[in-house]
Amino acid sequence: MPLRDRLNQAHYQQAVRSARFFEKDEQQAWLAEVADRHAFEQAQQAASALRQNASKRPLAKRAVWALVGVLLLCSGYYWQTGRLQIVQAGQQAFSDFQQQTQNEDSQQRNDHYIVSLQNQLRQDVNNGELWLELGQAYSLNNEFESALICFDYAQRLLGAKPAILGAMASADYYQHKQTLTQQGKKWIEQALLRDPKESTSLLLLASNAFLHNQFREAIGYWEQVLESENPAIDRQAIIKSIKMAQQRIATSK
């Protein structure tokens, strides 16, 4: 595929992904406009290719002029209906959004993500997965009380899943300044009873053990995490933590 085609295809896919930043009732209109614009650009590329070969292929000249006529009609239709301006305005808004996110730090981006999740929940308040995501986003902002409220809603809607219990224990742990409360221990026990390889619970136990200089115990928990099949795990970071604990053991002898 030529470079220009690849760039246009990438831009189209990016514009489609941007639909999630619109309100629900505007998403379909935006996607329709993006699709029309993409088809319009593809037609322009086809006309350009035909023009390049027209001098060698007499029949291609007719095709070129026919396609140019179609493009003129499309352009007139877009202009008269105002759809071209809508697409261009949408593209500019998305470009502005990209520039804004590039200039923001991680917490600001997470704040935008929280607002996006809140807007989605207004449309579907019984979506447990969204409540879980919102709780995780609050945890990243160190807003653990809000995170626990979201996790509680997620648990009501999705049931006492190990991942939710582990997330609740983690939020409770950091809310209480890295202290394992009785409630936190209970959530961890329930999570690991349902799934012995639940990564959030194991990572929490490892961090707590390391904090209290229980390095061998911490290594054991980290190794269990590495044995899991969770693709979201940062294995490189865990290996570094294990090496750090091993160094602490070596220096303490």
Task: Assign 23 to helix, strand or coil.
Answer: coil
Taking only the tens place, the pLDDT of each residue in 49-107 is 544 554 445 555 555 455 555 555 555 555 555 544 544 555 565 566 556 555 556 77
Q: Which band of pLDDT confidence, cut at 50, 70 and 90, is reported for residue 231?
A: confident
Q: Which of 20-24, 86-90, 174-178 has the highest mean pLDDT?
A: 174-178
| Average pLDDT estimate for 219-234 | 90
Output the pTM of the full model. Answer: 0.59
What average pLDDT does the chain have? Answer: 76
Task: Assign 253 to helix, strand or coil.
Answer: coil
CA–CA gap between residue 173 and residue 168 (Å, rounded): 9
State whether the Cα torsion 61-67-71-73 is positive or negative. positive
129 phi, psi to nearest 5 deg: -65, -40
| Average pLDDT estimate for 162-177 | 96
Whether 135 and 151 have beta carbons less than 8 Å apart is answered as: yes
Query: Residue 23: its pLDDT value, please?
Result: 55
Taking only the tens place, the pLDDT of each residue in 123-165 is 999 999 999 999 999 999 999 999 999 999 999 999 999 999 9
Query: Residue 50: its pLDDT value, please?
Result: 46
CA distances from 183 to 138, 166, 208 (A): 20, 12, 15
